[in-house]
Structure 1
Amino acid sequence: MTALAEAPLTVVPPQRKRKIPGWALGMIGVAGAIALLSTTSYLTGVPQLTSTGTIQTAVRLALPILLAGLGGLWAERAGVVNIGLEGMMIMGTWGAAWAGYQWGPWAALIAAAVFGALGGLLHAIATVTFGVNHIVSGVAINLLGAGLTKYLSTLLFFPISHNPRESPAVPKFDTYSAGGLSDWLGSLEADQRVGISDVAGILRGLVTGVSPLTMLAVVFVVGSYLVLWRTRFGLRLRSCGENPTAAESLGVNVYLYKYAAVVMSGALAGVGGAALVLNPGNPGYLEGQTNGRGFIGLAAMIFGNWRPGGLLGGAALFGYADGLQLRSGGKTFLALIYGAVLLLAVLVVWQLVRRRWFAAATGIVAAGLLYGVYYSVDEVPSELTAYAPHLVTLVVLAVASQRLRMPAADGVVYRRG
């Protein structure tokens, strides 16, 4: 007994559950989305859900949302809320049309970034230097962007296009396709095999008619992740959004990093505006063509939990909803409602396994209501499909709001010392 009492006690540390890496969760999410769309397409007989044309349109429409969301990511990681993304996009559209008409698409991108960066600089001066409320400053930037571009369009575009709300036609980028691979995927898609043709249609949409701007957007996403999470500069910038006082005590120039982040935010939003002007479906600058995409980009950033990978998924979702209503119309959206019923059924089973009875009951009620809509109408009215991206934004934010964690000092007015 004495020997046992004197024996040292060894404490076994509790085993921590291994978390699934973020990239793996993303791949699982992509595979699940493709499986859901494939199943829905087969059960409803609507191949447009995964067709090449729908995916191509979705990619083009997701680009401005993605770039605007990246702009919001840079600003908010430094602690500055950028509600002014919409205004900076509007300024980017005008700058892209003005330079692109004269010198081509690459000049359009540069001018759009400069005009957007000027909007970001103005937002930084107001919020960082003078301590103006971030929301108030952002709303002012939105109003300024709309008013300034309207004045400049009347002054410079009207003598050429004879329309103060439209620019002359702007040259577009050439597009590129993966020749043999695209043809092979096209033959698989035409066979209409369950699952295989759906995957082929999605992949063909991603490798056919690719613009240099699409490639540049992918570089921006990867580059933003590497800079913000894998460099000393990024660590210091993110510290300004988490605890600027502690960052200052360690020698970080908080004002400088906030300025750099907000100016970069405006430049990315401006390039997002250029993506609208350089879209093959648009002749050039059109008044009101952003149509709230700056706010949708902000929603995509929030959905992505202030990280580039999640933002990419959110932009793809909103771009797909927008592209679907442009390409296919009400019947395809009705099929998408059926897909939402299938998704809710899977979630209900998952909640039952976890014994979350209230969540399961709520899911059952929601699935029943959606199936009632699907059963009772022949197609979704065009008045609703036109606002599909905005409706999807509201639903996604409502669902994702429970797992979000914004930077701790996001939106807090900082004063040195």
Structure 2
Amino acid sequence: MTAPATSRPVPAARARRLPGWATSMLVVLVGLVVLSITATLTGQLQLTSAGTAQAAVQLLLPILFAGLGGLWAERAGVINLGLEGMMILGTWGAAWAGYQWGPWAALAAGAVFGALGGLLHAVATVTFGVNHIVSGVAITLLGAGVTKYLSTLLFLPVSANPRQSPPLRGFDSFSITPLTDVLDALVRANLVFVTDVAGILQGLLTGLTPTVLLGALAVPVTYLLLWRTAFGLRLRSCGENPVAAESLGVSVYMYKYIAVIVSGGLAGLGGAALVLNPGQLGYLEGQTGGRGYIGLAAMIFGNWRPGGLLAGSALFGYVDALQLRAGGDAVHALLYAGTILAVLVAVLWFAQRYWLAAVWALVAGLVVYLVYFFVDTIPSQFAAFAPQIVTLLVLAVASQRLRPPAADGLEYRRGEGD
């Protein structure tokens, strides 16, 4: 007689696991609480001010677009180290078109110039099998050289400076006034935590432009296209197992080309976002400042997912805005916030019985607090590099859970699985 079938018990850890959106909301809430406590105890109100949040939005946009570009390429199995060069091409294209036809033309031209860089990368890596890293570095060098030549040729006669464009007309900004008025009243009420949250939300809803809205739409659109459509499934299969994808009738070369060209277009939009930044309208040689590489780091921090990428971009943009607006004192206060976070992480790991990791978290928190206690402020020269340092630290912490596409960076040739 056959034994009756029994359902398999669900492990307790899996049964208690929160859905992705709930986990994200919990992380955001914890971050807000930590910032509120830090701002209250250190007196650094810029940590949660509307001005800092508004500046952070503008500064995260180029990184977000570049990171999304890297996400598209790497999900199809192509490492795009040329994001920086495509962003440089995008800055020049946006400035050239924006000077003549306005900000909408700047956005379009930035995407087109970046896409041309993506096309060149696709031809080199997909068609001719050039090493992805070598091709990416070459495109970055090419982008810097081409834009320098074009600036001397076309911008010098009108701006009298080969390193920058003439003044541009940007987008008119707007705010969601009924809501921002309520938030402003809450900020003036000076209530602990409520004022801090209201200040951040007020900054997020003030000074909006079409570029900001485009960046906000790009994240969910990327997720829906790549994870909720047949097109996205085929594209991601090219980054996981292109031989199996080819055996199922997927045109691997075509999908790789599409992904890398879209990747370049998104990086070019990041360049256009830099040019159209209300705080510094126009093209300036070297203005990308390595943001293409930082976008790549944000993508890795986000584990090749749009939501995590947005979090990484927001982190860099926030720290950058903070050091620009408040300098070394505000960056110094972040050490206090880091101590609180380390203690919270240690408690979480103790609860999950990760004893060694919890001890290391406590040791790290103690070291950070000692630095905060014995150092009065962070020198301005060092504070300028705070975003890059924070990015490296977060990448180091997140490195254990990363899972890149299986065939990322591997050369593929049609029919090689026969």
The normalised TM-score by structure 2 is 0.97
Return the offset for 1:132: 0.4
Instruction: Say whether the 8 Å CA contact 2:170–2:281 is kept in structure 1.
Output: no
- Counterpart for residue 339 of structure 1: 337
Name 2:216's counterpart in structure 1.
Answer: 218
Superposition deviation, residue 109 in structure 1: 0.4
Distance 1:314 1:91 in 2: 24
Tell whether 2:243 aligns with 1:245: yes
Distance 1:230 1:10 in 2: 34
Q: Cα offset for 1:208? A: 0.8
Match of 2:327 in 1: 329
Secondary structure of 1:183's aligned partner: helix
Paired with 1:261 and 1:10, the residues of 2 have a C-alpha distance of 46
Distance 1:384 1:192 in 2: 32
Structure 2 counterpart of 1:147, from 145, 169, 180: 145
C-alpha contact (below 8 Å) 1:168/1:283 kept by paired residues: no
Shift of residue 378, structure 1, vs aligned partner: 1.8
CA distance in 1, matches of 2:331, 2:213: 29
1:177 CA drift (Å): 0.5
Q: Does 1:119 align with 2:117?
A: yes
Matched, 1:289 2:287: yes
Going from structure 1 to structure 2, the CA distance change for 1:9 and 1:226 (only over 3 Å counts) comes to: closer
What secondary structure, in the 3-state scheme, does the structure 2 residue paired with 1:166 have?
coil
Determine which of 349, 352, 357 is the counterpart of 2:350.
352
1:361 has 2:359 as partner: yes
Is 1:320 aligned with 2:318? Answer: yes
**Among candidates 301, 308, 311, match of residue 310 of structure 1:** 308
Structure 1 Cα separation of the partners of residues 285 and 5 of structure 2: 72
Which stretch shows the higher mean deviation, 216-225 or 243-252? 216-225
Work out whether 1:8 is the aligned partner of 2:6.
no
**Residue identity opposite 1:94 in structure 2:** W
Q: Secondary structure of the residue that 1:389 maps to in structure 2? A: helix
Query: Deviations for 1:215-243, whole angstroms, at most 9, x for unmatched residues?
Result: 11111111111111111111100000000
Q: Does 1:72 align with 2:70?
A: yes
Superposed CA offset, 1:60-93 (max 9, x none): 0000000000000000000000000000000000
Q: Does 2:409 match 1:411?
A: yes
For 1:255, what is the secondary structure of its paired residue? helix
Which residue type is aligned with residue 245 of structure 2? A
State the 1:367 CA deviation. Answer: 1.5
Instruction: Within 5 Å, give how 1:254-269 maps onto structure 2.
Output: 254-269=252-267
In the alignment, the residues of structure 2 paired with residue 359 and residue 404 of structure 1 have an alpha-carbon distance, to the nearest angstrom, of 17
Taking a change above 3 Å as real, the CA distance of residues 355 and 230 of structure 1, as seen in their structure-2 partners, is closer
Give the deviation of 1:354 after TM superposition: 3.0
Q: How far, CA to CA, are the matches of 1:7 and 1:211 in structure 2?
A: 67
Rounded Cα–Cα distance in structure 2 between residues aligned with 1:8 and 1:265:
55
Task: Specify the code of the residue in structure 2 equivalent to 1:215.
Answer: L
One-letter amino acid matched to 1:305: N
Among 275, 278, 291, the alignment partner of 2:276 is 278
Of 334-343 and 23-32, the range deviating more from structure 2? 23-32
Q: Which moved more, 1:81-90 or 1:172-181?
A: 172-181
Whole-Å separation in 2 of the counterparts to 1:317 and 1:215: 19
Query: For residue 60 of structure 1, what is the aligned residue in structure 2?
Result: 58
Q: Which runs of 5+ in 2 are unaligned?
A: none
Correspondence for 2:194: 196
Q: Name the Cα RMSD after superposition.
A: 1.1
1:250 Cα deviation after fit: 0.6
Contact 2:84 2:291 in 1 (8 A): yes
The code of the aligned residue for 2:108 comes to I
* Residues 90, 270 of structure 1: 8 Å contact kept: yes
Query: 2 CA distance for matches of 1:278 and 1:125?
Result: 30
Give the number of aligned pairs. 412
Q: 2:207 & 2:255 partners in 1: Cα distance?
A: 38
Residue ranges of structure 1 left out of the alignment (5+ in a row): 1-5
- Compare 48-57 and 183-192 and name the one that shifted more: 183-192
Hey, what does 1:3 align to over in structure 2?
none
Match of 2:383 in 1: 385
Quote how far apart the aligned CAs of 1:351 are: 2.4
Amino acid at match of 1:312: L
2:281 aligned partner, one-letter code: P
Q: How far apart, CA to CA, are the structure 2 residues paired with 1:348 and 1:109?
A: 45
1:14 is paired with a residue whose SS is: coil
Of residues 252-261 and 375-384 in structure 1, the stretch that sits farther from structure 2 once superposed is: 375-384
SS at match of 2:281: coil
Task: Name the counterpart of 1:158.
Answer: 156
Cα displacement (A) at 1:376:
1.4
Tell me if structure 2 keeps the 8 A contact 1:69–1:311.
yes
Write the letter of the residue equivalent to 1:81. Answer: I
Q: How far does residue 7 in structure 1 lie from its aligned partner after superposition?
A: 7.2
What CA distance in whole angstroms lies between the structure 2 residues aligned with 1:402 and 1:44? 33
Q: Which amino acid aligns with 1:13?
A: R
Aligned-partner residue type, residue 28 of structure 2? V
CA separation in 2, counterparts of 1:254 and 1:73?
A: 17
Q: 1:177: which partner in 2?
A: 175
What is the CA–CA distance in structure 2 between the aligned matches of 1:294 and 1:118, rounded to whole Å?
Answer: 16
Cα shift at 1:186: 1.1
SS of 2:378's partner is coil
Tell me the CA shift for residue 32 of structure 1: 1.1
Q: Give the whole-Å Cα distance in 2 for the aligned partners of 1:271 and 1:355.
A: 45
Q: CA deviation at 1:139?
A: 0.4
Give, in angstroms, the shift of residue 209 of structure 1. Answer: 0.8
- Same amino acid, percent of matched pairs: 65
**Displacement after TM superposition at 1:188 (Å):** 1.2
| Larger mean Cα displacement after TM superposition, 279-288 or 91-100 | 279-288
Q: Determine the C-alpha separation between the residues in 1 that align with 2:23 and 2:290.
A: 30
Q: Distance in 2 between matches of 1:9 and 1:256?
A: 51
Paired AA for residue 358 in structure 1: L
